[in-house]
Structure 1
Amino acid sequence: MSSSSRSRRHRSSSAPPLDDENLLPEILLRLPPQPSSLPRASLVSKRWRRLVSDPGFLRRFRILHCRSPPLLGCFVEQLDGISFLPALEGPNRVPPGRFSLQFKHGKGFMLLDCRHGLVLLSDWTRRQFVVWDPVTGDQHRVAVPAGFDPKRTEISGAVLRAAGDVQHFQVVCVATRCDDIQHGEAAVACVYLSETGEWSNLVSTPVPSGSRRELYRMLSFRTMSREPAVLTQSLAVTRVPHVPIDHFKVIRADSGGLCFLYMSESDFTVQLWKPETNCDILGSSRLGRTIELGKLLPVEQGKDNIFIVGFAEENNMVFLRTLKGLYAVHLQ
């Protein structure tokens, strides 16, 4: 090793942490993933601004915090567009108009899913999915795959992208349709890859005759309540409890399988049930835990109604609507 190399190494090791070119990026990477963190850091100096705006640093920052993203707020569907309801206080509060989207044509749009910083909408008048990035404002239109008719088939969808990948995304399309008289109805799914611009081959599973009434029931509720998707990388027909849809929610378990939440208004509790198998939620479920809402929310038994209206998969939070407002409860 040359004397000049030893000298540079000595200066680097003896420099204060905030002056060390190797340590400073590692320190800044561990800032909390709040909207104000990096903008505030960029105001310290030109050097800090250069570091936190570097594409490589931003990619590492996203990957490091992808498992604990902050919940910025909720999207609410209205007649003329999608409104954003902020959930944080200042200085991290995002103005409502920052992430709102107005429809130019007004009709035919439906809010389907929100995940990994992307929002999935449907535009059935044009037979298209719309993938919207609220931060950049970019919109990508994806044609509904061949064989799916939104006017005759109940279609749902989900959007996702790999951790740290801000260029590409996937759209999952799921529907039910009648294949033929002999085989009856089937649940079908396919995946769109933005990297290739193509839909995958269809994957299907038959719908048992005894499950069709339940399937129609769930589809009609989904149409009314616009249920968000839960991704498990498998396709199966699953029985669900005979309870009102706003008292029941299928969610992803910590193990990667399925479990469900049940809202009991008799004692104002939310129960988390874990099935022994993903193929039958009702077959052999066990009670995981019970959350007593009366100790958390300003509600009175017999005077208030509580409904489950959503679930934030990445944050493990359930949204409850009461007569007094909308509340988010972290399941942990």
Structure 2
Amino acid sequence: MPPPPPLPPPSLPGELLEEIFLRLPPDEPACLVRASLSSKFWLGLLSGPRFRGRYHDHHGAPPMLGFLRGFWLEGCHRREKGPVPRFTSTAKFGARIPDDEWDHSDYSAWDCRHGRVLLGDAYSCELLVWDPMTGCRRGVDWPNLVDDSRGVAVLCAMRGCDHRTCHAAPFQVVFVGVEMGEDEDVDDCAAFACVSLPETGDWSKPCPPSDQWGEPCPLLHLPAEAFIEPIPPVLIEEALHFMIQSLKDDSEEILKYDFSSNSLSLIGAPIQDREIVSSSILMAMEDGSLGYAYVNGSTLYLWSRLMDSNGVASWSQRTIINLMNLLPIQNPVERITVVGSVEGGDVVFVTTVLGIYEINVDSQRWKKLGKRENLDAVIPYMSFYNRQERVMPGDVVH
């Protein structure tokens, strides 16, 4: 008599499987993908809303799945080989770049937030919002305004969203520009702001007032010969912060656009002596405060703008890091440049002759991301991997 067939291996209950899967690292999405392919039961468990919600809550902020290189110098990104924009994966994640005429465009990355990348071409005055997870794209018309320098940002437009899996939600583009006066003998320089409408992509009008949009954002007079520095802004609560500089006196300030009040204002930078600052960036710190990081020689300084008990904000020095003792730098006169940060992550990116490095300013742990390039910014792409969103057709428009 033949032996009885072997019994199937005991299966773990769904609750215990969830606890195991919750421990899979979010910056290695291939782990979840392989697990979901094991069985229909595991696929249903991992793609269900219950597990996705628990997974995001367990890991907190989305991980960095890759980064883009920001090029604003004329002709710099045109010398790059391959499709533009250039996306470098830092995990087992492949961005969906459509294989069409976009590969031969002159778009470069200007901003990235809430799972979306904002691309721009200053020569043709075109803007494009791209989702690397799904490959979806949507063009946004350039605002019909005169500007001498600009800062542009993209963000989710859904109220109450936790921005962890909001790829299909509506988005907005914020355009902040600086225009000079027509009289060259008068130092007249002003900033304006306008926001795209999520449904149509139309722009709010900075002036004159419009019944459709209500009161416009008032113009803000700036120091003479001011311009917005070509680095992505940072978002803190309901305000975007741009770095501006005056060519006349080489001063540096922070231009703040507040969504709730639809207003522009200036914040003084913690360091006024530009001679000791070789490069600087703004940061959205993990504690929700505004940060300012700069490099002087081989030392990284970090300041944080905190609110006291009386509701008054002021700068305080938070961290000083000797990069010569931290990074594999052999030449003491080697130029070090800070070129980006992770919003809400206390992480900065610096470049040296040897490469691009990611540094956690709290733990002072670092890792090399790639070879050195003449780039202006490292723009991180932060997102949780979502298999259901991943299978969306790449040519679908938000």
TM-score range, shorter-chain basis?
A: 0.7 to 0.9
Q: Which residue of 2 aligns with 1:327?
A: 357
Shift of 1:129: 1.7
Q: Which residue of 2 aligns with 1:176?
A: 178
Shift of 1:304: 1.9
Shift of 1:248: 1.1
Distance 1:173 1:74 in 2: 22
Equivalences for residues 1-332 of structure 1 within 5 A: 19-22=12-15, 24-25=17-18, 27-33=20-26, 34-54=28-48, 56-57=49-50, 59-60=52-53, 63-64=56-57, 67-76=60-69, 77=71, 78-79=77-78, 81-88=84-91, 92=92, 94=93, 103-104=102-103, 106-107=105-106, 109-146=107-144, 148-149=145-146, 152-161=147-156, 162=161, 163=163, 164-168=165-169, 169-177=171-179, 184-195=188-199, 197-200=201-204, 201=213, 202-208=216-222, 211-213=223-225, 215-216=226-227, 219=228, 222=229, 226-232=230-236, 233=239, 234=258, 235-240=264-269, 241-243=272-274, 247-265=279-297, 268-275=298-305, 285-300=315-330, 302-332=332-362
Distance 2:182 2:306 in 1: 33
Moved more, 314-323 or 237-246: 237-246
Amino acid at match of 2:138: H
Could you tell me whether the CA contact under 8 Å between 1:75 and 1:83 is conserved in 2? yes
Could you tell me whether the CA contact under 8 Å between 2:286 and 2:345 is conserved in 1? no
Distance 1:321 1:239 in 2: 26
Distance 1:276 1:250 in 2: 14
Change in CA separation of 1:139 and 1:65 when aligned onto 2, cut-off 3 Å: farther
Distance 1:25 1:123 in 2: 45
Shift of 1:184: 4.5
Shift of 1:43: 3.1
SS in 1 for 2:224: helix
SS in 1 for 2:153: strand
Could you tell me whether the CA contact under 8 Å between 1:82 and 1:100 is conserved in 2? no
Task: Point out the structure with the larger helix share.
Answer: 1
Amino acid at match of 1:129: L
Query: Cα deviation per residue 1:12-53 (whole Å; 9 max; x = unaligned)?
Result: xxxxx9633455446534532121231122133220012223
Moved more, 133-142 or 193-202: 193-202
Structure 1's consecutive aligned runs of 4 or more residues displaced over 4 angstroms after TM superposition are: 97-102, 178-184, 195-198
Amino acid at match of 1:40: R
Q: TM-score, normalised by structure 2?
A: 0.62
Could you tell me whether the CA contact under 8 Å between 1:110 and 1:122 is conserved in 2? yes
Change in CA separation of 1:18 and 1:25 when aligned onto 2, cut-off 3 Å: farther
Q: TM-score, normalised by structure 1?
A: 0.73
Shift of 1:298: 0.6
Could you tell me whether the CA contact under 8 Å between 1:99 and 1:135 is conserved in 2? no
Shift of 1:58: 6.8
Could you tell me whether the CA contact under 8 Å between 1:83 and 1:99 is conserved in 2? no
Change in CA separation of 1:75 and 1:203 when aligned onto 2, cut-off 3 Å: same
Change in CA separation of 1:207 and 1:301 when aligned onto 2, cut-off 3 Å: farther
Amino acid at match of 2:125: R
Shift of 1:299: 0.8
Could you tell me whether the CA contact under 8 Å between 2:187 and 2:224 is conserved in 1? no
SS in 2 for 1:49: helix
Change in CA separation of 1:299 and 1:49 when aligned onto 2, cut-off 3 Å: same
Distance 2:140 2:57 in 1: 30
Amino acid at match of 2:136: D
Percent of paired sites with the same residue: 31
Query: Cα deviation per residue 1:164-221 (whole Å; 9 max; x = unaligned)?
Result: 322122222111235898994332223324356444454234224xx224x23xx3xx
SS in 2 for 1:204: coil
Shift of 1:130: 0.5
Q: Which residue of 1 aligns with 2:391?
A: none
**RMSD over aligned Cα atoms:** 3.5
Give unmatched runs, 5+ long, in structure 2: 1-9, 72-76, 205-212, 240-257, 259-263, 308-312, 363-398
Query: Cα deviation per residue 1:206-241 (whole Å; 9 max; x = unaligned)?
Result: 224xx224x23xx3xx3xxx3111123123223444
